[in-house]
Amino acid sequence: MAKAANKPTKKPTKALPGKSRPKALPKKALKWQRDPEGMRIRILDAAKEEFATRGLAGARVDRIAAQAGANKRMLYYHVGKKDDLYLAVLEAAYEQIRVEERGLDLEHLAPPDAIESLITFTWNYFIRNPEFLALLNTENLERAKHLKRSDKVKSMHSPFVEMIRTVVNRGVASGDFKVAMDPVQLYISIAALSFFYLSNSATLSEIFGRDLLAKQAKEERLAHMVALVLAALTGRSVAEFLLPKADAPPLPAQQTA
């Protein structure tokens, strides 16, 4: 039997002088690795909607990841576990409203105008951001368990309180306000006047037989809130602030010694 012919062995090719073997191309970075901050923002936005709609107990990490175009591994990498994600959403929600409040430039408005501007902003912000009210409701049901872990939220409120204090003190000094009201009490009252109305509008509308979210009803509510707060600060009648501005009596002139 004839032997099979030996196949010639292929000699390894030698690199030509001056040339090197081509290097392996680096692995292409994944989209979330190229834009980690963008991915974090998408995760927080999706989480805010999920927590606001379903509460902390009903929220699911799988739904949040899918909505953000991520997966659970990416979510845990960028934010952490579910409780950490919820706290990050709360901190971002508080930061957003505080940043927008600073843009009101209250320091350069006359004290009564500054307070009216703050009331109007708070009212409209709550209307535009119902998820913020939902998150507050959820955290209150949790007895502020998650906020107690946050130094960030506490630190961002100190400048805000001082901003209101400055406006009130300017009003007392100018003779516009009769009392240097505690700025924390004042803001809680402003927020409560808006919060209770909006968060209970469905039941209150049914009980009183009127649509409390109709355009005219909301305008009336805002005027009512402004009148109540300014009356408390100035010592004047609520009715004076409910008059059309052209008919309202002027504020008393500053008293000089």
- Give domain 35-80's CATH architecture: Orthogonal Bundle (1.10)
CA–CA gap between residue 111 and residue 175 (Å, rounded): 10
Answer whether residue 257 shows pLDDT above 50: no
Q: How many whole angstroms separate alpha carbon 114 and alpha carbon 168?
A: 9
Residue 220 has pLDDT above 90, yes or no: yes
Tell me, letter by letter, the H, E, C secondary structure of the chain. Answer: CCCCCCCCCCCCCCCCCCCCCCCCCCCCCCHHHHCHHHHHHHHHHHHHHHHHHHHHHHCCHHHHHHHHCCCHHHHHHHCCCHHHHHHHHHHHHHHHHHHHHHCCCHHHCCHHHHHHHHHHHHHHHHHHCHHHHHHHHHHHHCCCCCHHHCHHHHHHHHHHHHHHHHHHHHHHHHCCCCCCCCHHHHHHHHHHHHHHHHHCHHHHHHHHCCCCCCHHHHHHHHHHHHHHHHHHHHCCCHHHHHCCCCCCCCCCCCCCC
Q: What is the mean pLDDT of residues 11-25?
A: 53
Q: Which residue has the higher pLDDT, 257 or 107?
A: 107
Q: How confident is the model at residue 9 (pLDDT cuts 50, 70, 90)?
A: low
Q: Render pLDDT for 29-59 as a digit per residue (tens, 0 to 9).
A: 445 455 678 888 999 999 999 999 999 999 9
Mean pLDDT, the chain, integer: 86
Residue 22 burial (10 A CB sphere; 0-12, 13-18, 19+):
exposed
Instruction: Sketch the domain layout of the chain as residue ranges.
Output: 35-80, 93-242
| Residue % of the chain over a pLDDT of 70 | 81
Whole-model pTM: value is 0.79
Of 257, 250, 256, which Cα lies nearest the Cα of 234?
250
State the average pLDDT over residues 205-223: 97
**Using CA atoms, how far apart are residues 197 and 201, in angstroms rounded to an integer?**
6
Q: Which of 21-25, 57-61, 117-121 has the highest mean pLDDT?
A: 117-121
* CA distances in angstroms from 248 to 55, 120, 155, 237, 241, listed in the order given: 46, 19, 40, 11, 7
For domain 93-242, give the fold.
Answer: Tetracycline Repressor; domain 2 (1.10.357)
Angstrom CA distances, 167 to 84, 162, 252, stand at 36, 9, 18
Cα separation, 157 vs 159, whole angstroms: 6
Whose CA is closest to 127, among 97, 106, 105? Answer: 97
Cα–Cα dist 253/156, whole Å: 36
Are both 35-80 and 93-242 of the same fold? no
